[in-house]
Amino acid sequence: MRIVDCGLRIVDCGLWIADFRLGNGIRTVTFNSQSAIHNPKSEIPVEIEVGCGNGRYLRRAAGERPGHLFIGIERSLSYARKAQERMVKYGVGNVRIVRADASCFLAERIAPESVHTLHVYFTDPWPKNRHAKRRLFQTPFFETIHRILRPGGQVFIKVDLYWYFEEIFCRFEQSPWFTVAACGMETDPDRDLCEITGFEHKALVKKGAVFTLVVERSAEC
Ligand X SMILES: C[S@@+](CC[C@H](N)C(=O)[O-])C[C@H]1O[C@@H](n2cnc3c(N)ncnc32)[C@H](O)[C@@H]1O
The span of 75-83, 107-115, 144-152, 177-185 binding ligand X (CB under 6 A) equals: 75-83
Query: Please, what is the minimum distance in Å from the beta carbon of residue 19 to ligand X?
Result: 18
Identify whether the C-beta of residue 143 lies closer than 8 Å to the C-beta of residue 177: no
- Closer by beta carbon to ligand X, 132 or else 221: 132
Residue 45: half-sphere exposure toward Cβ, Cα within 13 Å: 15
Instruction: Check if 124 is active-site.
Output: yes
- Closer by beta carbon to ligand X, 104 or else 221: 104
Distance CA 22, CA 110 (A): 25
Measured at CB, which residue is nearest to ligand X?
51
**Does residue 178 touch ligand X according to CB under 6 A?**
no
Q: Indicate the helix (H) or strand (E) that contains 151.
A: strand 149-159
Distance CA 16, CA 109 (A): 6
**Does residue 85 touch ligand X according to CB under 6 A?**
no
Which one of the listed residues 5, 12, 101, 124 is annotated catalytic?
124
- Closer by beta carbon to ligand X, 101 or else 173: 101
SS3 of 189-220: the string is CCCCHHHCCHHHHHHHHHHCCEEEEEEEECCC
Residue 7: half-sphere exposure toward Cβ, Cα within 13 Å: 4
**Does residue 53 touch ligand X according to CB under 6 A?**
yes
**Does residue 55 touch ligand X according to CB under 6 A?**
no
Among 14, 45, 93, 198, binds ligand X (CB under 6 A): 198
Among 61, 73, 110, 213, binds ligand X (CB under 6 A): 73
Identity of the residue numbered 113:
E
Can you list the alpha helix ranges (DSSP code H) found in the chain? Answer: 56-64, 77-89, 102-109, 139-148, 162-174, 198-207
- Closer by beta carbon to ligand X, 44 or else 75: 75
Query: Please, what is the minimum distance in Å from the beta carbon of residue 152 to ligand X?
Result: 24
**Does residue 45 touch ligand X according to CB under 6 A?**
no
- Closer by beta carbon to ligand X, 102 or else 213: 102
Among 21, 68, 93, 103, binds ligand X (CB under 6 A): 103
Please name every residue paired with 210 in a beta bridge, in sequence order, or none if there are none.
Answer: 186
By annotation, the residues acting in catalysis are 124
